[in-house]
Homo-oligomer: A and B are copies of this chain.
Amino acid sequence: MTTDTSNDKVRFLRSLRAVREYTPEPIDEDVIKDIVEVGRWAGSSSNSQPTEVVVVRDRAALELMGANGAAPAAKCAVALLILTAGNADRRESEAFDNGRLVERLLLAAKAHGLGANIATLKNDGPEIVRKALGIPAEKKVWTVVTMGHIDREAHKARPANPNAGRKDASSFVHWEKY
């Protein structure tokens, strides 16, 4: 069953890591469009497609996000702000679909050799960003995917996070019964 090709893909999936250190180099617009297109094909509950993306490159807007909880946005080339429909009866379902979308965006950025990270607008951040970007009142604003060309020296120099590991397989997976 396992072929070289499946191993390559599995290695690609397994090697995804958050990258928050970016060079100032811009990202080609064709690459941004390609990454967003991978996101557009994300599956969703009953194909409800509750998600939308705002592509932000404007430095003032990136700094505003950076100052409101999504710190890596201040120094990234592009931030993808994720909106969900904001249906109060479907908050968990929309959050689940948001997670599916964001995982695809991170992987698509990695496929293009870029670094990416998930950041979160905090406190009044969602409302401040909503006003600045003209986002309708009903949309939920929460998640930011920051992206950029990787500053490899800064990335390597980041202190190792002692909490970056994962729990043992024996705590994560159960066979047949809990």
Contact = CB atoms under 8 A, between A and B. Distances in A.
A154 interface: no
Interface in A59-118: 61, 83, 91-93, 95-104, 106-108, 110-113, 118
A43 interface: yes
Contact of A47 (B108, B112, B163): B163
B53 A174 contact: yes
Contact of A133 (B106, B163, B177): B177
Given A1-B28, A99-B96, A103-B99, A178 B13 contact: no
This chain: how many copies in the complex? 2
A151 interface: no
Contact of A54 (B16, B30, B166, B174): B174
Contacts of A1: 27-28, 31, 112-113
Contacts of A39: 172
Given A99-B97, A100-B99, A100-B100, A41 B166 contact: yes
A94 B131 CA distance: 27
28 contacts: A1-B27, A1-B28, A1-B31, A2-B112, A9-B110, A10-B112, A13-B38, A14-B38, A36-B173, A40-B173, A41-B166, A42-B103, A47-B163, A49-B172, A52-B174, A54-B177, A55-B174, A55-B175, A55-B176, A57-B176, A91-B91, A93-B95, A96-B99, A97-B99, A100-B103, A103-B103, A134-B178, A139-B178
Chain A to chain B: the 5 pairs with minimum beta-carbon distance, closest first: A99-B99, A9-B111, A95-B95, A96-B99, A92-B95
